[in-house]
Amino acid sequence: MTDDDPFPATADASTRRTRILSTIELLVLIGIGGFAGSNLRYVSEMVFSGLQATLVVNVLGSFVLGFILYEAIYAGVLAEQTQVVVGTGFLSSFTTYSTFAVQTVQTGSLNWMLLNVFATYGLGFLGVLLGRELARAVDGGDT
């Protein structure tokens, strides 16, 4: 047994059952978040096209993840489960590294490939920083 074992053999039956049900609940919520994120990702492809859609969702996802992460640090208002559902479920299905990589290579032009890589990473980092600033503003602190 390790210290981080969510279902320790030494726990009583009621505690083990509660932990198992909590884990199942979290997995279902992550699945629901993933369903919503992947569907919104699909809609973004209908609104934008190819590289544009991928860039938009990756930058927007970076912004939202930055906000959620720093909101948790600064204010601690969002429950850990909400952070996991939104971050792991919704945003991991909404954003996509694999599509970014494939579309970048498919441009066929070294200049477009480099531009897309720098734009995606640069704007993604900027999104996280802006999300952090929004979390600071919402919390009202200068942390």
pLDDT in tens, 74-100: 888 888 888 889 988 999 899 988 889
CA distance 24 to 28: 6
CA distance 142 to 126: 18
Query: Would you call 72 helix, strand, or coil by DSSP?
Result: helix
**Inside any domain, residue 4:** no
**Inside any domain, residue 129:** yes
**Inside any domain, residue 3:** no
Total domain count for the chain? 1
State pTM to two decimals: 0.78
Residues 6+ apart with CB under 8 A from 47: 53
**Inside any domain, residue 6:** no
pLDDT at residue number 32: 94
pLDDT at residue number 139: 82
What residues make up the domain containing 94? 13-139
CA separation, residue 118 to residues 22, 62, 105 (Å): 41, 15, 14
pLDDT higher than 90, residue 5:
no
Say which DSSP state 89 is in.
Answer: I
The number of beta carbons lying within 10 Å of the beta carbon of residue 34 is 18
Point out the least confidently predicted range of 10-19, 64-73, 85-94, 122-131: 10-19
pLDDT higher than 90, residue 54:
yes
